[in-house]
Amino acid sequence: MNTYTIKKVLNNNVLIAEDEGQQEVILIGKGIGFHKKRRDTIREETVEKLFVLRSQKEQEQYMELVPQMEEGTLDAIIASIEMIRRRAETMLNEQVHVALTDHLMFAIHRLNRGLEIRNPFLKETKALYPAEYEIASEVVDYINQSLGISLPEGEVGFVALHVHSAIANKTISDINQYSQLVSELIDLTEKQLDITMDREGVEYVRLVRHLRYTIERVLQGEKLEEPTKIASLLKTEYPVCYNLSWKLIKVMQQALKKPVYDAEAVYLTMHLQRLSTKFE
């Protein structure tokens, strides 16, 4: 286990230290700076809730945020990140400390000034990342109770994206791009099939998840087995859904800048056909 030597105590929750290789790190944890001073040592195994920020860029960004926050707010955010780690049962990308701290700090600031940012992808996020949404819901509840505030439900969606980013090791901008892409694909489907899906309904959730896993396979270059006989049958039997599936695939290809294998059109046609019959 690592031992760290304290260089500077920033507050009760944040320390600047050196690791055993004399690399500067930021140690983050609820109460870890309490009664600590320069040259004291901290052994990693003695601190249950310790986060180590090693990236120079992340350190600089985090150091800019800390002085702007009241200690109670920082305390609540650090406890929230620990809650995410515990619930996710996995190591989190250290970027979450900067990204989520920054996001929540400004969300609280906006709320105090009576400015609410609407979340246009709330329903998509809930359907795309149900486990992360559940964790985010707990985090927002905890922050609201700890700080005596009322962050709106839209914030649960924003926090869920940060949770997914930390667990899946993807950037927030990539995740936002995929949420927007799914939203665009859903709109196109509704327009072409002349239907309106209930955003809380099972058909909507199924389609969103199907599109999510299609996007993930495309990004990973994963190829599904193509049932060729079924392909020609679907093309003849369900031309509307078959053509729509290819329109959706072309939108995906343009957005992701990657090829989409033909087999995806087969499975997407079957899904769309099942969906359209529900609305007949």
CATH number at residue 1: 2.30.24.10
Query: What residues contact 89, with CB distance under 8 A and at least 6 apart?
Result: none
Same domain, 22 and 97: no
Same domain, 127 and 161: yes
Last residue of a domain, one of 108, 141, 170: 170
Backbone phi, then psi, for 115, in 5-degree steps?
Answer: -110, 120
pLDDT in tens, 105-144: 999 999 999 987 889 889 999 999 999 999 999 999 999 9
Domain with 10, as residue range(s), is: 1-54
pLDDT bracket for residue 223 (50, 70, 90): confident
Same domain, 156 and 257: no
How confident is the model at residue 78, as a pLDDT?
93
Same domain, 63 and 163: yes
Per-chain mean pLDDT for the chain = 91
H or E element that contains 156:
helix 154-168
pLDDT in tens, 225-267: 776 778 888 989 999 999 999 999 999 999 999 999 889 999 9
Looking at per-residue confidence, does 145 or 43 come out higher? 145
pLDDT in tens, 39-76: 898 887 767 678 888 889 999 999 999 999 998 999 99
Same domain, 157 and 60: yes
Same domain, 82 and 126: yes
Same domain, 80 and 162: yes
Same domain, 21 and 97: no
Q: Per the structure, how many domains does the chain have?
A: 3
Identify the three-state secondary structure at position 136: helix
Is 5 within 8 Å of 37 (Cβ atoms)? no
First to last CA, the chain: 63
Is 6 within 8 Å of 32 (Cβ atoms)? no
Same domain, 77 and 140: yes
CATH number at residue 125: 1.10.1790.10
How confident is the model at residue 30, as a pLDDT?
83
pLDDT at residue 210 tops 90: yes
CA distance 33 to 16: 10
pLDDT in tens, 166-194: 999 999 999 999 999 999 999 999 999 99
pLDDT bracket for residue 99 (50, 70, 90): very high
pLDDT in tens, 156-168: 999 999 999 999 9
**Helix residue spans in 71-153 (DSSP H):** 71-88, 95-112, 122-128, 130-147
